[in-house]
Structure 1
Amino acid sequence: MTTRLTLRLLNIIKSKGGEISTTRNTYLIWNKIKISGKNNRINILGNGKLRRNTISIKGSNNIIEIEDGANISFSNLEIVGNNCSIKIGRHTDIGGAYLSSKGEGTSLTIGDHCMLSRNINVMTYDGHPIFDADTKVILNAPKDIVIGNKVWVAANATILKGVTVHDGSIVAFGSIVTREVSPGTIVAGSPAKSIKENIAWEH
């Protein structure tokens, strides 16, 4: 079911087992949205703006929530699994990211006043499962990702599963983040390492 959805220009929406909720001030233009499964939701609050994105949910009891003032364009938001979430905070700008939450009960959270540039990958999983050959136990289970408030992620960066990037930090161009980033820190490289602490930046 689709509720209170204002269509602007050519939004392509295919929904089975999902609900899309917006407000009068939500702005949608040239998005492709596909929902399949049971009890899935997309909530776009306040004057959130979505332009030329691909959004897909497959599974049950999943949610994508976009807060007031968020501005997302040329991005791919994807959930595959059950009880998973992608949440994007207030006045966060995203200009070309792949945001993916896969697994069981996995979450990807981005805080308020963040800035994510182009060609960014943020993924709660490794792409394909790896098993122990003898026990068949999965070795690379999905893990949550948390990006705090006022975090700047520069172009071509990747943030991998299990990572927390704390408030006020910067992820430099082309970095691959595999471990926790402390507050107010610039990290760079592959794997990313701290190159400067006690920093502040302006949007």
Structure 2
Amino acid sequence: MNFWTYFPDQYVRDFVEFCVADFPISTEKFYEYMPRDIGLVGDDSNRIYLEDSQLPEGLKIVFTEKAVNCCMVIRSGANIKNSRVSFKEDGQFSYVGTDAILNGVTAILLGIRDFVLVGNGVSVTASSSWSTGFNSGVTGNGLIVGDHCLIGPELVIRPADGHLVIDLESRDQLNKSVRPVVIEPYVWIAQRSAILKSVRVGACSIIAYGAVVTRSCDQFSLLAGVPAKAIDMGRKMWLRNNAKKSIQIQKFYERRFLRDCPNGG
């Protein structure tokens, strides 16, 4: 299988390649399972691909009756605790990158061909709620969390709204999302924040405690407030701690992105 079949939109493919290093195009080097092979309930058209041989003990995967042709991909070293991914429609896709740490994440995919991708080295400390929302008839709806993002507790992400607003004459949905939520690599998101539909958060940005992000921002931005306003941080970057690995990761993204920062020199 070629994973790109789940992303017919080139716009989405470009963001996947930009945000997630070494995203696997095919199923080679993965263990392939149907749900029943690993004790799950679900249609035989669904697949789980594991780079390690066993499903992480802390992850619960749910396939509803409508969930067909769905795909879950988990890379090696993923550390997952108290987390749940629910597939509810046709052709949905979820991905967890190498060495990602997910603690208390609930991800619900609601619409046909919706997706949730978590990049390499992403760390979610506790209790995050991610729902793709209702986006009737729109492809390319979902969420991409770029590599090495740090996410605090109680983050809510909604790539589309949780309910529909309907024009009573045409019966069309008026509140559709126009693009997926994209969180570029190395973003620090503080506790009790929310990121809403069609938002793109630039790399190396910081989202402050309690911010509600409704608009996209450039790289190296500080977002704070309700709704959040973006302030250019210029030549400043966040650092998780003084550990050698943390410093190496920061240096990597400094080299990758600082040249593109408006005030980066």
**TM score, norm. by length of structure 1:** 0.89
Which residue matches 2:132? 101
Once residues 110 and 166 of structure 1 are traced to their aligned partners in structure 2, the CA distance between those partners, rounded to angstroms, is: 11
Structure of larger gyration radius: 2
User: What letter corresponds to residue 173 of structure 1 in structure 2?
Assistant: Y
Once residues 165 and 13 of structure 1 are traced to their aligned partners in structure 2, the CA distance between those partners, rounded to angstroms, is: 35
Quote how far apart the aligned CAs of 1:3 are: 8.7
Q: Alignment partner of 2:99: what SS?
A: coil
Deviates more, 1:17-26 or 1:170-179: 17-26
Which residue matches 1:20? 48
2:147 maps to which of 112, 116, 120: 112
1:84 maps to which of 105, 114, 126: 114
Q: Alignment partner of 1:29: what SS?
A: coil
Residue 202 (structure 2) pairs with residue 175 (structure 1): no
Please report the RMSD computed on the Cα atoms of aligned residues, expressed in angstroms: 2.0
List aligned pairs for 1:14-93, cutoff 5 A. 14-16=41-43, 17-24=45-52, 28-36=56-64, 37-93=67-123
| CA deviations over 1:15-57 (Å, ceiling 9, x no partner) | 3342112122767123322013211011001211211112101
User: What letter corresponds to residue 225 of structure 2 in structure 1?
Assistant: G
Which residue matches 2:182? 146
Which residue matches 2:20? none
CA contact (8 A) 1:107 1:145 kept: yes
Quote how far apart the aligned CAs of 1:59 are: 0.7
Which residue matches 1:202? 239
Which residue matches 1:8? none
Which residue matches 2:8? none
Which residue matches 2:17? none
Q: Greater strand percent: which structure?
A: 1
Once residues 78 and 110 of structure 1 are traced to their aligned partners in structure 2, the CA distance between those partners, rounded to angstroms, is: 15
CA, structure 1 residues 134+117, in 2 after alignment: closer, same or farther (shift >3 Å)? same
Quote how far apart the aligned CAs of 1:133 are: 2.7
Could you list the structure 1 runs, at least 4 aligned residues long, displaced by more than 6 angstroms after superposition.
Answer: none
Structure 2 residues not aligned, in runs of 5+ = 1-33, 241-265
Quote how far apart the aligned CAs of 1:81 are: 1.5
What count of residue pairs does the alignment treat as equivalent? 197
CA contact (8 A) 1:26 1:47 kept: no
Once residues 53 and 232 of structure 2 are traced to their aligned partners in structure 1, the CA distance between those partners, rounded to angstroms, is: 40
Quote how far apart the aligned CAs of 1:4 are: 8.2
Q: Greater helix percent: which structure?
A: 2
Structure 1 residues not aligned, in runs of 5+ = 6-11
Residue 188 (structure 2) pairs with residue 158 (structure 1): no
User: What letter corresponds to residue 42 of structure 2 in structure 1?
Assistant: S
Quote how far apart the aligned CAs of 1:196 are: 4.8
CA, structure 1 residues 107+52, in 2 after alignment: closer, same or farther (shift >3 Å)? same
Deviates more, 1:33-42 or 1:111-120: 33-42
User: What letter corresponds to residue 132 of structure 2 in structure 1?
Assistant: S
